[in-house]
Structure 1
Amino acid sequence: MTARPRIHFEFKSRSPSQREIADRLGLSQATVALALREHPDIPVVIRAEVKRVADEIGYRSHPDLRILPDHERTKLPPSRRPSLGWINAWREPARLARHPDYSGYWRGACKAASERGYYLEEFRLSPKATAEELEQQLQMKGFHGILLPPDGDPTILNLFPWKNYRIVCLSHHTLPFPANLVGPDQLGNFRLALERMHNSGYRRIGFLTDRRPEASNDKLSMAAFPYNQCDSLSEGHLPIATTAENPVPHQLAEWARSHHLDAILTDLPGAGLLLKRARLRIPEDLGLAFSCRGQIRGWAGIDCHPEEVGRLGVEILASSIHGDLDGIPSIRIAVEGHWHEGSTLPLAPEGN
């Protein structure tokens, strides 16, 4: 999916602007914007000069569009609506939009933002930017709130000035302060997937993922698999395989055969191709189910309702922006998934 482009809106009015104040004083527009808001990081002398020039040229700030009712904001052109930031901290930013689940988050969030009178804009964090450069870029954007999609690079995310924004995470990021979170019910979804696989006759189920958890980004699906094996749904505790530790196809094949697996549960959208390269036939050799199946027909697994995750993310963020959640502890919303049958997981052979 191609990210929605920024719509540049040019006012035809000749009314004075912040840019004109900045040009007169030799300042950046970001500094002028902060000075007009009495930001404490701007020296008092500069704030006074900015206000003097603003009065001199007749500059008048626009009213805070956040206080308008939703139906009033929706009448505004996109370029005049309050903007929400979609923070892309991936090392290869274009891959985020191609992810079958995360692109669903984006679609749901875009739709909800439009309905609430906001404009959602992708903002790509550059690993080469300094913290000061990033702060200046964000000030120019003027985001009223932030959505943080999954799997951002921790070293890039560490540059972000989180304390300055209202944030909703769409994954279990570990941030330096409490944050609201909306995401799939990974524990419940894994439980449901294992139950359905068990009901189809599979007993020796392994879990295939990309990597083990990192310090700054919890991988809840990794915890969900062994947690849900602590009952009669599987025979013993089977190992977890990661593509980071088993990068060569034959290593995956050896893992499956050495543990006598009859099925694999995975959170990797590309698992079918990986197993094909390992010369493991699906479903002849192994049953295969996905903990979040995306929109691919024929796959067995959980529909995580990614667009609903994105929609709820915007709803919580808008409530936070309007102050409706002030004084309330961090909110966690887990969106329940639903099972879909598919050709990758037929009934297991008799005597399996």
Structure 2
Amino acid sequence: MKRQISQRDLARLAGVSPMTVSLALRGHPSISTETRARITSLAGKHHYRPDPALAALNAWRIKDSAARFQGTLAWVTSFATRDAWRDMIQTKGYHQGACARADQLGYRIEEFWINEPGLTPKRATQILLARGVRGLVIAPLPEAHGRIDLDWEHFSAVALGYSLAEPKLHVVMNHQFRNMKQVVERLHGLGYRRIGFAMPSANDERVDHNYLGGFWIAQQALAQPGATTGGAAGKTKATGEGGGEGQLPTLLAERFDQETFLPWFRQAKPDAIVVAASTAHQVRDWLKEQGLRVPRDVGLAVASVPWQDTTISGIDEDVPAIGAHAVETVVGMIHRNEQGVPPRPLSLLVEGIWAAGKTVRKIR
């Protein structure tokens, strides 16, 4: 049986040290592009495969030790101004988690504003490469169907969420569809039967309509006789109340304000409303102005609890963990020498957990 080629064998064939081979195969910026390409080509030609036992041993050896500096990752934003992304509370949490995990792995994260006036895709690529950046975390974009132009073949990249339409990269995000289903099921388990859905249309569009899809599927399932919901709230059998009269008209508004929300609320008469994280406190204030108290008169829940908010009921996606997983994905790609737009993009979707909050109550 033919012996598998090792990194030491590759070093002899390439005329470099074993350390250079190791760094090159991990895409380390200290190794020139030409040398990395030559070593990668040799590895492919001779069918080199990493030894999983040695990789596991190495991971065990370094997990509790201070990580040596490995390189720089870029946090790429695409808003109208350099710091506008900081107005998105969840994105700030993603960034914090990304920075913390990068530091643990020996990387640092630099912010990179792709919409800098006069910055062309070619110039942006040159700047990133000059800074030794090989990995990119694409922050959520301000609108759906976004596009970012770079010479992607130089970078290992992952997108946070679905707002980036072109190119189609690997995605890391909370499981928006299942999180929304869980919200509806939890509300039903608490006794709510007229569950409404009201949010800006842009919010649902930015998540590829996973919110509306999850809401509809959950409502349809609860409309089936004998369906049960449960969790911490306890199991409840649906008797058809979740469907029929309980299926209310949804509100997806391009302009989401009081003038749009209140007529819908008066017509639909929901006993609980699923809203966007960014509008939850606003909606609660609108209801208060109408003499309605949350949760005494109406429940309020979200599919993604605002970062560091302990008031709003809904799904805790562990916001910093999403950013941390994005960094782990990019670093893994760097180590495997995977650059460019993937032929088959993968999605890492993180399940959330129910956070009781203070805006719903058990009513049955």
* TM norm structure 2: 0.67
Cα distance, 1:94 vs. partner? 2.6
1:288-327 alignment to 2 at 5 Å?
288-293=300-305, 294-323=307-336
Q: Which letter does structure 2 place at the counterpart of 1:296?
A: D
After superposing the two structures, state which structure 1 stretch, 230-239 or 162-171, moved more. Answer: 230-239
Change (3 A) 1:143 1:208: farther
8 Å Cα contact 2:145/2:165 also seen in 1? no
Distance 1:330 1:317 in 2: 13
Q: Which residue of 2 aligns with 1:269?
A: 278
Residue 75 in structure 1 maps to residue 68 in structure 2: yes
Q: Which residue of 1 aligns with 2:360?
A: 345
Q: Which of 114, 129, 149 lines up with 1:125 in the alignment?
A: 114
Distance 1:199 1:214 in 2: 24
Q: Count how many residue pairs are aligned between Structure 1 and Structure 2.
A: 281
Change (3 A) 1:155 1:252: closer
Task: Name the % identity.
Answer: 24
Change (3 A) 1:136 1:334: same
Q: Which residue of 1 aligns with 2:221?
A: 231
8 Å Cα contact 1:168/1:182 also seen in 2? yes
Distance 2:134 2:66 in 1: 14
Q: Which residue of 2 aligns with 1:259?
A: 268
Deviation sequence 1:135-175 (CA, Å, 0-9, x none): 34333333211111223446873334444321111102454
Residue 103 in structure 1 maps to residue 118 in structure 2: no
Deviation sequence 1:120-149 (CA, Å, 0-9, x none): 111112163333443343333332111112
For structure 1, the 5+ residue unaligned runs are 1-32, 40-68
Normalized per residue, the structure richer in strand is 2
Distance 1:300 1:232 in 2: 20
8 Å Cα contact 1:108/1:309 also seen in 2? yes
Normalized per residue, the structure richer in helix is 2
Q: Which of 326, 346, 351 lines up with 1:336 in the alignment?
A: 351
Distance 1:215 1:302 in 2: 19
Change (3 A) 1:216 1:205: closer
Change (3 A) 1:155 1:195: closer
**Does the residue aligned with 2:74 lie in a helix, a strand or coil?**
strand
Deviation sequence 1:87-106 (CA, Å, 0-9, x none): 11123443423433222211
8 Å Cα contact 1:83/1:142 also seen in 2? yes
Change (3 A) 1:183 1:229: same
Q: Which letter does structure 2 place at the counterpart of 1:302?
A: I
8 Å Cα contact 1:108/1:310 also seen in 2? yes
Distance 1:154 1:164 in 2: 25
* TM norm structure 1: 0.69
8 Å Cα contact 1:174/1:218 also seen in 2? no
For structure 2, the 5+ residue unaligned runs are 1-28, 36-57, 224-241
